[in-house]
Amino acid sequence: MARPVARRLAFVGLTLLLFLGGAEVALRVAGVPKRDSTREFTHNEIYWVQPPNQHLEPVTHKESGGAFRVSTDSNGLRAPLHSQEKTEGTFRVMTLGCSTTFGWGVNDEETYPYLLEQNLKAAGHNVEVINGGQPGYSSFQGLWLWQKTLAAYKPDLVIFGYIVQDSRAVAYSDSSQAVLQANKDFLKANLLYRLHSYVVVKNFVNEYRMEAKDKPGEGGMYRVSPEEYVGDIRAFKANAEAVGAKLVLFGYPLEREGYTGTHRRILHAAAEKLSVPVYDPQPEFEQYSAQETLYFPQDRGHANPAGNAKIAQGVTQFLVSQRLVE
């Protein structure tokens, strides 16, 4: 009795395998789904890093006649500059995020990571802050940069500040962008995306889900979906722990919460679920911003020098009060 059942199962399995194999071949021959390197949501590339070894390079800013100075290390990470090798006895804090963490619009010594280092040193801590922020970055790109570069700095504390770019509504999510461009780094790390049949089914499911719920704005989807955002947070926690570091979730504050609301709620839920600290000063900053100018008038997405100083002060107080720095 068992033998006929096993034969039937083997026959069904072989039939299914042949069907899927045939479908994969047919889709590849037909060029479905189309992969087009000219597709873009904001940038033509899915991964990028700032130019290395910059020394006070002037960068034009939106403010009238404005420019700011940028210095980077050999890996394209912005000041404060430190060697990749960590000095024994030094506690390293790594700040992660997009242009807000990078410090778009302000000079090296006015960025929140630079000021955070100064504040912690003034409080008696032997620390180095590594500014891992990159303009335009989402947590999807941050994971790639971690594997490529950031892990080698061996931080003791990782501040996950990805939220501003992850929350943006776009025509293509970051993962879809990587598929459309057939990005080798992404495909190598996600082997299923090499199968055209898998991508077709996944795209169909995504389209159905987008039709079944409210879309996040005109673009139709987030750069990093809520599900992917949770996955990225989990991955960063595992990656941080793999190098002996702790993870802190940081809801980088904007002048107004705006479109980041959904991802902020996810950030708090993930912190509770994963038992990691979370610092989200958004409510306080909306009150501060009503009384003083903390963001650039012509570039309200980025904090000015006063705003960066306020953010650094808040992060310093949080880390010290939670005994997260040595």
What is the reported pLDDT for 172? 75
Task: Tell me if 128 sits within 8 A of 86, measured CB to CB.
Answer: yes
What is the reported pLDDT for 40? 45
Distance, in Å, from the CA atom of 107 to the CA atom of 309, rounded to the nearest integer, reads 12
Which residues does residue 72 pair with via DSSP β-bridges, in sequence order?
A: 78
- The whole-chain average pLDDT of the chain stands at 84
What is the reported pLDDT for 273? 96
Across the range 137-166, mean pLDDT stands at 97
What is the reported pLDDT for 221? 84
Domain spanning 57-171+221-321: CATH 3.40.50.1110:
yes
Q: Tell me the pLDDT tens digit for each residue of 93-115.
A: 999 999 999 999 999 999 999 99
Higher pLDDT, 2 or 310: 310
Kindly indicate the confidence band of residue 171, based on its pLDDT and cuts at 50, 70 and 90: confident
What is the reported pLDDT for 197? 44
What is the reported pLDDT for 29? 57
Read off the pTM: 0.80
The most confident of the ranges 26-40, 209-223, 300-314 is 300-314
* pLDDT of 147 strictly over 70: yes
Across the range 29-51, mean pLDDT stands at 63
Kindly indicate the confidence band of residue 286, based on its pLDDT and cuts at 50, 70 and 90: very high
What would you measure as the largest C-alpha separation in the chain, in angstroms? 85
Task: Tell me if 177 sits within 8 A of 41, measured CB to CB.
Answer: yes
Q: Helix or strand or coil: residue 107?
A: coil
Half-sphere exposure of 56 (CA within 13 A, CB side): 1
* Least confident span in 39-43, 49-53, 283-287: 39-43
Query: CB-based contacts of 285: which residues, under 8 Å, 6+ apart?
Result: 253, 254, 255, 294, 310
* pLDDT of 211 strictly over 50: no
∠235-118-140 over CA atoms, to 5°? 20
* pLDDT of 3 strictly over 80: no
Query: CB-based contacts of 308: which residues, under 8 Å, 6+ apart?
Result: 103, 106, 110, 111, 112, 115
Ranges of each domain in the chain: 1-30, 57-171+221-321
What is the H or E stretch that residue 174 is in?
helix 174-180
